[in-house]
Amino acid sequence: MQFPDSVAHLVQTDFPLASSLWLGIGGPARFFAEPTDQDELVTLVSAAARNGVAVRLLGGGSNVLASESGVDALVISMAAAPLARLAVDDTRLIAGGGTKLSHAVTHAVSAGLGGLEHLLGIPGTVGGALAGNASADGRDIGLVTAEIRVLQPSGSIVTIRGDEAQFSHRRSGLGGSIVLQATFQLDRRDSAALTKRMQKLWIVRGAARPAESSRIAMPFIDPDGATAERLIADIGLAGLREGGVSLGIRHPHFLVAEENATSVDCLRLIDRVREQVLLQTGIDLQTNLQIW
């Protein structure tokens, strides 16, 4: 495949993905690019669409499981600063789709704007959080989303209102589109009080993660009215192992990968957990991981 001259210098072939993913698992991407502005992003996506090449978006890499055989796609990183801008307009926070969610939260808090602080500690980008309607403490990001500008697979750009994004429990109607920018409608609050609350949340949520490994992922979405952690623990699956991966013993909603872990190990473990939870509780756990 030939990319347009304006972006050809950005594209790498057979790019190793493992080091960019939290699980540290995965083979090379057929194509990889990190556009430095919106025009380059649009050109890359349009070129891929014309040539029938799939596009995969890489945010923080916290919920991606890639095959060791490689990913036959154009993997696009949204990490460049122009795609991760943050700005405040009165009580609105405007964030680029590539902005780390944690940065958006802290920027809002420092400006004395409340409504996002409960999402602190959730990994990934603003775009990923919107696509999956990230939620914590019973409140999701969709509740404060006023407007989203998205790049469609065809290369066209459209703006939709938050109430048109079909937000539901850990879901949205944004699948297949790339979030370029989001506008959040927040509330004026005391910045010092928000900061204290944010610090407490950071301590609590940090203690709820496995400390023994940095190669972790949360493979399941909490079902409505329950948590994957509680369901898994109650039926005795904490510590369950498959090859080089296991569930955390103290934090069984985390999947922990060892050096010899493979994507097949991960998928087998996920299938075993889903099967047992369904058999014993009647709840069909949905996966949080993107399988590449």
Give the catalytic positions in this structure: 170
* Long-range CB pairs of 227-232, under 8 A, 24+ apart, other chains included: 227/253, 228/253, 228/285, 229/253, 231/277, 231/281, 231/283, 231/285, 232/273, 232/277
Q: Which of 219, 214, 290, 204 is nearest to 254 (CA)?
A: 219
Q: Which two tokens stand for residue 229?
A: 């952690």
In 193-264 the beta strands, taken as DSSP E runs, fall at 216-217, 241-242, 245-247, 255-257
Distance CA 237, CA 235 (A): 6
First-last CA distance in the chain: 20
Residue 171 has phi, psi (to 5 degrees) of: -145, 160
